[in-house]
Amino acid sequence: MAMSKATTGLFSLIRHSAPPPRPYVRSHLISFRSKGTNTSSSSVAASVATAAAAAASVSARSGFVSWYLGMIEARPILTKSITAGVIFTAADFSSQMITLGPDMPYDPMRTLRMATYGVLLSGPSLHLWFNFLSRVLPKRDLITTFKKMILGQTLYGPIINSVFFSFNAALQGESVPEIIARLKRDLIPTFKNGLIYWPLCDFITFKFVPVRLQPLVSNSFAFLWTIYITYMAGLKKPCLENVKEEASAQLH
């Protein structure tokens, strides 16, 4: 009993001798922690929002690519034709913005002619050409790639450029002699410039790109080229007398 009373007295002494608690210290710490928590929560929320936006953007891009690849598989000619039409439209608009003078108006009919050519001729012909090459020359080694490049420059290029100039000239109402005169004037310079521009583009396309995507890649490379050829196709029709004089001068 004496021991119990002594122990009780000792605890009582310790309790009364301890300094009173200071609540303001605790409230300060709580306030500080709360502020830090709010800042941290804001940072986390901003990070989550940024990540969500990036994920949505990537998902949208991947969704479009998946849709486009699916359309190439389901309707290859239609998809490639529309793609070519869009590229020819953008290229001709860019060509006019670059080459037209400040007093010369934009010609929407010229852009419509180029878009029509892209949809009706360029897209389908590229689809058939690349599929033909993949059947005749199925390998993708270096030698086969160079063979495809040579065929493109010596066979497909001259034919499709002749069709391009003739098609656009006919839509402008030019006669057969005027179309022939245009070909004599514009085809050789276009062919020479094509030998400078296309070999590297063809090498990348044939060597590294799957057959189903080759028309898309070729049309993408063709954007700058189309700016040039739409400019050439938009030149005034040649004077027949001048063309005859130039032809006779070349013969002599």
Give the pLDDT confidence of 55-81 residue by residue, as tens digits: 555 555 678 888 988 999 899 999 999
pLDDT value of position 231: 85
CA–CA distance, 34 with 173 (Å, rounded to integer): 79
pLDDT value of position 104: 87
Q: What pTM value is reported for the model?
A: 0.69
**Confidence check: pLDDT of 252 > 60:** no
Per-residue pLDDT tens digits for 20-39: 555 544 444 444 444 455 55
The residue-averaged pLDDT of 155-172 equals: 94
Cα distances from 104 to residues 99, 101, 145, in angstroms, run 10, 5, 44
- The tokens for 186 are 């514009």
Question: Mapped to the 3 state alphabet, what secondary structure does the chain carry?
Answer: CHHHHHHHHHHHHHHHHCCCCCHHHHHHHHHHHHHHHHHHHHHHHHHHHHHHHHHHHHHHHHHHHHHHHHHHHHCHHHHHHHHHHHHHHHHHHHHHHHHCCCCCCCCHHHHHHHHHHHHHHHHHHHHHHHHHHHHHCCCCCHHHHHHHHHHHHHHHHHHHHHHHHHHHHHHCCCCHHHHHHHHHHHHHHHHHHHHHHHHHHHHHHHHHCCHHHHHHHHHHHHHHHHHHHHHHHCCCCCCHHHHHHHHHHHHC
Q: Which of 231, 219, 229 is nearest to 86 (CA)?
A: 219
**Confidence check: pLDDT of 222 > 80:** yes
